[in-house]
């Protein structure tokens, strides 16, 4: 038996100690974790001996559940922030409405840096992953940013950035669901095929 097959067998023996009915829920919980997400959870499930279909469905469901919570929470937070800002602006005499870019309002605290990138005054600079995601959003729109976003940052972070940018939550959820299904399916099929070849 080759070392990979031994490792897989040992992992499956460990998983076998968990009741069979609980295993999909463990995979679902793994899918909730950023950086593990649907892809990683599906791989864990398939290597652990679950049916690829069960592993993929459980992993995708967990990943989507976490994205749903992020989108609903982020949407409420953004609505509250916009309402507070509008109340402050409305209270000032002769206030100028906030500028908009592509139909999305730019917060009053944002200023344009010399390189043309928006930068919130007094805030930390954006991470490289978030800058790449914003670039994807500008180039490919919400569908492209959602489908390519997992290559840059976790889906939960992608969803949070999209909602904070003012994208309607239904649109975010639709394309995040599509991205989760695509990437979880790719990961599940890939690991299943790899196990057939390597571990037999």
Tell if the pTM clears 0.85, that is, is over it.
Answer: no
Please choose, from the candidates 114, 152, 122, 126, the residue with its C-alpha nearest in 3D space to the C-alpha of residue 37.
Answer: 152
Give the list of residues 6+ apart from residue 176 with CB closer than 8 angstroms, or none.
64, 67, 71, 146, 155, 158, 159
Helices 3-15 and 169-198: crossing angle in degrees, nearest 10, is 120
Mean pLDDT of the chain: 81
Judge contact between 136 and 149, C-beta under 8 A: yes
Q: What token pair was written down for 89?
A: 């602006």
Q: How, if at all, do strands 104-105 and 110-112 pair?
A: unpaired
Per the model's pLDDT, the better-predicted residue between 188 and 82 turns out to be 188
Per the model's pLDDT, the better-predicted residue between 137 and 69 turns out to be 69
**Which residues on adjacent β-strands are paired with residue 112?**
118
Distance CA 71, CA 118 (A): 23
- pLDDT over threshold 60, residue 21: yes
pLDDT value at residue 132: 79
- pLDDT over threshold 60, residue 13: yes
CB-side neighbour CA atoms (13 Å) of 144: 10
Q: What token pair was written down for 116?
A: 């043309």
Instruction: Summarize pLDDT for 114-171 with one digit per residue, the tens.
Output: 444 444 444 567 677 777 777 878 788 888 888 988 888 899 998 988 898 888 889 9
pLDDT value at residue 114: 41
Start-to-end CA distance of the chain, whole Å, equals 10
- pLDDT over threshold 70, residue 200: no
Q: How far is CA 117 from the centre of its chain?
A: 23
Residue 37: band (very low, low, confident or very high) from pLDDT cuts 50, 70, 90:
very high
- The pLDDT of 50-74, averaged and rounded, is 95
Distance CA 144, CA 136 (A): 7
- The pLDDT of 47-52, averaged and rounded, is 93
- pLDDT over threshold 80, residue 104: no
Residue 96: band (very low, low, confident or very high) from pLDDT cuts 50, 70, 90:
low
pLDDT value at residue 105: 52
């Amino acid at each position: 038996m080759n070392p990979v097959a031994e490792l897989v067998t040992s992992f499956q023996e460990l998983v076998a100690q968990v009741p069979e009915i609980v295993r999909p829920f463990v995979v679902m919980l793994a899918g909730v974790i950023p950086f593990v997400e649907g892809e990683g959870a599906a791989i864990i499930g398939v290597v652990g001996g679950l049916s690829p279909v069960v592993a993929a469905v459980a992993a995708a469901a967990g990943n989507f559940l976490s994205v749903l919570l992020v989108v609903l929470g982020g949407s409420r937070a953004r609505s509250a922030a916009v309402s507070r800002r509008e109340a402050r602006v409305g209270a000032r005499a002769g206030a100028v409405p906030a500028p908009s870019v592509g139909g999305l309002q730019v917060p009053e605290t944002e200023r344009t840096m010399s390189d043309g990138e928006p930068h919130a005054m007094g805030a930390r600079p954006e991470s490289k992953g978030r800058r790449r995601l914003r670039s994807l959003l500008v180039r490919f729109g919400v569908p492209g940013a959602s489908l390519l976003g997992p290559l840059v940052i976790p889906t939960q972070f992608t969803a949070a950035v999209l909602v904070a940018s003012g994208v309607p939550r239904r649109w975010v959820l639709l394309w995040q669901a599509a991205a989760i299904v695509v990437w979880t399916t790719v990961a599940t099929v890939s690991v299943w095929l790899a196990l057939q070849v390597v571990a037999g």
